[in-house]
Structure 1
Amino acid sequence: MSYSEDTIKKMLPKTFLRKHVAHEIYVTITYFKQLVPIMDKYVYNDGTTKDLMSLTGTIPVMINDKTYNIPVCLWIEESYPQTAPICYVRPTREMMILRGEYISSNGEIQLPYLEEWKNGECDLVSLLQVMAATFGDFPPVCMQPHPEPEQDSCWLQFQRQAEVLSKADGSSYLSLPRGDGQPFQQENETNC
């Protein structure tokens, strides 16, 4: 879907500086084409929720001469541009967060650019450029390791091969196949 400035402006609640914020979001999504403006509920750490505009999608990041699409979400509060957006890395199910100097364990992005945010000097496009450059040096996510299929425990392997049979008197016995497929001899049977 294509978003015009007017479409974005209509999405924003009246509490925002609608014209300014709509223009900035429009400029941002023309540079970062994989980001989409979405009005959604943001849940604060104290559990309160608020309808906020977010820019959600991926940004291209060069890591070791290869471009990776890093999933991010920028939440824009009503006080924007006086305050910085709240930014997160949003890994897919195949990814995991790499906690580090600029990324918390819950994926919150903690860049000096955000901490030193100045109205009139900082903007969304510059923020995303700083993110892309920083993530190139400090990747925020990686692919989940695909563990080798675990060896079944001895008991599970044993259960798969064994067959529990019942006798007419109500007792049970375990029948195990021999490696060569032949039945065990009578003297090897055990009753329980």
Structure 2
Amino acid sequence: MCSFEPFIRSSLKKYKFPEEAKCDVLKAVSIFADLRPKYEDFVFNNGRQRKLLHLEGTVPVDYKGNVYNIPICIYLMDTHPYNPPIVFVKPTSTMQIKSGRNVDQNGKIDLPYLREWKYPDYDLLGMLQALCIVFAAEPPVYSRSGRTSQESQESLIQETPHHNGNDQSLGKSDSSTTDKEDELRRLQDLLTCRICKTRRVGVTFLSCGHCVTCVECGTSLQDCPLCPTGANHVRGMIITLFS
């Protein structure tokens, strides 16, 4: 039994679907073990406050061959899991948010997975796995160096590399030919089927959100090849086109 289960069960007493919510949370933290449950006030945009269960910690993101821990916070609505959570990047004192397509200047995360949320096809584990893919393509934080304000924004990092716990820079510039070639190869790898290694990826698995196989290979699978063994039985597929 997960050591957090008593706390999670107690925190969900006032939720509308406590048993479903508990199962969803436990499945997520069993795979993303750095996430820790808390039960605290959440302030909505209209100033209203409500105590909500939330998960706080880091998710591992593979960026240019290294795994980095990205700090996030997931607030579960009292209708969870039938309504999507509210998710934020939560930078440490050595980080600042890099806003982009999926993260606003306040760190709030917006994903198609959250907008299209429909339990049980969409759940916390699938959202976290989709988040790792998105962050690998577009990291959500910058480093805060001890030099100047200008210099601190020139080096993109993810804090605490997963393998040694120390901050690392992820490259000071992508202007060189070598860096551009490396980036092109990385993008080519992301778009190549993990099974046949030849065709372009073409299906997105539900509910994890991974898009890692071509149509021909993907339709013959019962489990996502990128998820831990047994963690995600494919519940459906979406044909994904890259123009």
Fold in common (TM above 0.5): yes
- 8 Å contact from structure 1 (residues 5, 23) kept in 2: no
**Deviation string for 1:25-75 (max 9, x for gaps)?**
111111001000111100111111100010100000011111110000010
Gaps of 5+ in 1: 150-192
Query: Do 2:15 and 2:78's aligned partners in 1 also have CA atoms closer than 8 Å?
Result: yes
Secondary structure at 2:100 match in 1 = coil
3-state SS in 2 of match to 1:79: coil
Q: Which residue in 2 is equivalent to 1:25?
A: 25
- The CA distance in 2 between the partners of 1:110 and 1:5, in whole Å, is 28
Question: What is the correspondence of 1:59-138 to structure 2 with a 5 Å cutoff?
Answer: 59-138=59-138
Larger Rg: 1
Deviation of the 1:21 alpha carbon = 0.9
d(CA) in 2 for partners of 1:8, 1:15 = 11
Q: 1:148: how far off?
A: 4.3
Cα separation, 2, equivalents of 1:20 and 1:82: 9
Identity of aligned residues (%): 32
Contact 2:75–2:87 (8 Å) recurs in 1 = yes
- Using the size of structure 1 for normalisation, the TM-score is 0.73
Note closer, same or farther for the CA distance 1:97–1:4 as it changes in structure 2 (3 Å cut). Answer: closer
- Provide the C-alpha distance between the structure 2 equivalents of 1:89 and 1:4, rounded to a whole number of angstroms: 23
Distance 2:71 2:96 in 1: 11
Query: Using the alignment, how far apart are the partners of 2:133 and 2:88 within structure 1?
Result: 16
Query: C-alpha separation between the residues in 1 aligned to 2:91 and 2:51?
Result: 22
Letter in 2 for 1:119: Y
Unaligned runs of 5+ in 2: 150-243
Aligned 8 A contact 1:88 1:109 in 2: yes
1:95 maps to a residue whose letter is M
Shift of 1:81: 1.6
Q: Is the 8 A contact 1:6 1:22 kept in 2?
A: no
